[in-house]
Structures are given as C-alpha cells and as structure tokens.
Amino acid sequence: MLKENKHVFLAIVVLVFWLVNMAGCSQKPTVENAHPAPAVEETQPFPASQSASDTTPVTKELTQQEAAELFVHNLGYKIVTNSGASYDLQFPDTFTEVKNGVRIGELLKRGNELSKQYGMDFSGYLGKQVTLYTYSVENKNKVVENIVLVMDGNEVAGYWIDWIVDEMGRPGPAFNVIVGAYEANGSR
C-alpha cells in the first residue's frame, strides 16, 4: 500500500507541475497603450573570445521623418496617408518679422502660444535652422486636422494643431502660408 501511495503521490506532483508549466507558457503578456519602440536594438555578433554578456545593444537612429511620425502617433493621432510634408528654413530672429508681405513672426508667435499649451516653447529657436513638418491627422473622434511640428534634428521643439486664418479671414494651413512666404523670393 505504501508503494502504491508513493506512485500516486508522484503522479499527482508530476501532473500538477505539468499543468502549472502549461498554464504559464500559454499565457500571452498583455500590453496596454503600447506604442512603437523609438528605436530598434540589435546585438552585434561577438568573437569567440568574448562572452555574450560583454555585448552591448546598438541602437538604430531614427530618421527625422520617423521621429516626427512616431511623435504624432504617440500623441494618439493617425496620420492620413500621403499627407506629410516638410520644409527646412531658418526661423526669423523675432516674432515681429515680415517676409514677403506675410507676418511670419506673428504666425510663429501664435503657433508658439499654442505649443506652450502642450508644454513646448520653441521661442529659443528664433534665428536658427529648423525643419517644419505637417501632417493631416485623424484624432480619436475621427476628425481630420492638420498638425505642424517644429523639428531640430530628431527632436520636436514644438507643435500645434493648425488654426490659421489669413488677413482676409480665409482659413488655410499655417504650414502653406509659411512655406509660401519663404519660397516667394527663394529664401529659406
């Protein structure tokens, strides 16, 4: 009888171990609010004399466009296909500058005021080279809006949701107005 109890006990232990193991292996981790990773990590092959623990991950740099798109996605927007555009320019020295009859400084000042509402002040970039990005985006309510980003390399210095109304009271994207003013005489 003792021998039979040992076999039953052993069978139960093995069965419990197997059930616990299977339950743990079949669960998939849940990730809430997952966002694309900002970079891809790759490990470099190591020579036979080097151990795997000595390797360090190498991070693939994002392009400026990838960084801009990742930023927009992380805000919760869906970018409308083929809606992106970018433009390299030197910001004016002040928020009072007029370029080819367009009050560029005032447009950027209003954009900066909106950007500050999101905690980003790009006034420190006046007089500096930046890149503007714009995208048509769909918000969580399925409303399509335009977003404008001010980029310094791969860093977002500021952004705003487009709101522009020109001097005649007509709506139009600020990005187009700004680029048009810079392109009118070929200056960037």
Per-residue pLDDT, 174: 82
Q: Is residue 129 within 8 Å of 88, Cβ to Cβ?
A: yes
User: Out of 63-67, 97-101, 151-155, 161-165, which region has the weakest mean confidence (pLDDT)?
Assistant: 161-165
Between 71 and 7, the more confident residue is 71
Per-residue pLDDT, 50: 42
55-107 pLDDT, tens digit per residue, is 445 567 899 999 999 999 999 999 999 889 999 999 999 999 999 888 999 99
How does DSSP classify residue 35?
A: -
**CA-CA distance, 6 to 184, in Å (whole number)?**
92
Rg of the chain (C-alpha set): 28
Q: Is residue 115 within 8 Å of 150, Cβ to Cβ?
A: yes
41-64 pLDDT, tens digit per residue, is 333 333 444 444 444 455 678 999
Structure tokens at 156: 């977002």
Q: How many residues does the chain have?
A: 188
From the CB of residue 8, how many other CB atoms can be counted at a distance below 10 Å? 10
Per-residue pLDDT, 58: 56
Per-residue pLDDT, 88: 95
Give the dihedral sign, CA 169/170/175/181.
negative
Q: Look up the pTM and report it.
A: 0.64
Helix (H) or strand (E) holding 147: strand 144-152
Per-residue pLDDT, 187: 60
Please compute the mean of the pLDDT values over residues 97-124 and round it to a whole number.
93
Domain extents in the chain: 64-183
14 SS3 class: helix
Listed in sequence order, the DSSP H helices in 27-103 are 64-74
Between 55 and 124, the more confident residue is 124
Q: How far, CA to CA in Å, does 12 sit from each of 15, 18, 19, 54?
A: 5, 10, 10, 43
Cα distance between the two ends of the chain:
93
Per-residue pLDDT, 121: 97
Per-residue pLDDT, 45: 37
